[in-house]
Structure 1
């Protein structure tokens, strides 16, 4: 096992100081190789040391301007600091350099979501969902984005897909309740809100939705 692999393994075990030691040695052994800088950047990002993480990713890019994972790491550094426009630039560059994993498309989509550019987010979240059909968070955020783009039928299908992956996903039930309300199916909406509350009794949005329906039914009686 080489030093980078040892560092990654130590990082997975949360032995961060030992991971830093292996990554430092890897950089010293191969100072022109970008992977050492990228892995050290990922470690610093994990430690929320954003300023130093940025420097390491930029150093990796200096060594190899086509290092897609360095752009991805730099994008995550900006994203964690809520600098979504700069994060977008880096995620896009990572994609252009050939990184075609679900995570980079997902993160690109999420930068648009945070800026309420839902239509721009949709193709990236759709691509992420197609690449990784079993990632619950990706599938859920894609469903939300479909709803935000008023594609209600596909949003409903997507939330049901989330429930196939995770039967106790309270937010998926809540959103199915909202969709049912949109379709004016009050009984179904109430049932979905109740299912969300069975899973997560403190789900405030579901509780509020249920209360609104019950108040409406009381006023009709």
Structure 2
């Protein structure tokens, strides 16, 4: 097992100091290989040393500016710092350079959602959902983008799909409740708000939705 693999294994086991030592040794022995800088950069994101991570990804790109994983890593740095416009640019570059994985489409979609551009986010989140149909978070984010784009029937189906993967997903129950309100089925909406609160008693949005529906039904 080479140093990079040893470092990745150490990261999986949360042995971060050991991982850092392996990546550092690789960089020292292979200073012209960008792979070491990328993996070290990913570790630095994990421990929230964003300035150092940026330097490592930029060093990788100075060795090979077409590396999609370096652009993806840099995008993650900006995303973690809530600089969604810069994150968007880096994720787009990663895709342009050939990265075709669910995670990059997810992160690009979420960057656009955070810039209140759901219609632009939609195709990227759809692509992510196609690439990983069993990832609950990806499927949920795709559902959100459909809802924000006012594609209510499609969002309804998507949130049901999320619940088929995880029946205890409180946010999916809440959002399914909202789609039932759009469909003018308040009793069904109330069931899902209640279910969200059963799973997560401090779910403020579900609590507020439940209160509003109960007032609506009381006044009918």
TM-score interval for Structure 1 and Structure 2 normalised by the shorter chain: over 0.9
Q: Secondary structure at the match of 1:39?
A: helix
Give the unaligned 5+ runs of structure 1: none
Which whole-Å deviations, capped at 9, do the CAs of 1:5-48 have from their partners, x for residues lacking one?
11111111111111111111111111111100001101111110
2:99 — aligned with what? 99
Task: Give matches, 1:12-91, under 5 Å.
Answer: 12-91=12-91
- 1:87-116: CA deviation from partner (whole Å, max 9, x where unpaired): 111111110111000000010011110010
TM-score, scaled to structure 2: 0.97
Q: Which residue of 2 aligns with 1:150?
A: 150
User: 1:122-133 to 2 correspondence within 5 Å?
Assistant: 122-133=122-133
| TM-score, normalised relative to structure 1 | 0.97
Range moving further from structure 2, 6-15 or 33-42:
6-15
1:40 and 1:54 map into 2 onto residues whose CA distance is 10
Provide the aligned length of Structure 1 versus Structure 2.
Answer: 220
The residue number in structure 2 matching 1:178 is 178
Deviation at 1:201, TM superposition (A): 2.0
Root-mean-square deviation (CA, aligned residues, Å) is 0.9
Does 2:140 match 1:140? yes
Q: Give the secondary structure class of the aligned counterpart of 2:168.
A: coil
**Offset at residue 156 of structure 1 (A):** 0.3
- Counterpart for residue 8 of structure 1: 8
Which segment drifts farther, 140-149 or 194-203? 194-203
Identify the residue that residue 115 of structure 1 maps to in structure 2: 115
- Structure 1 SS opposite 2:53: helix
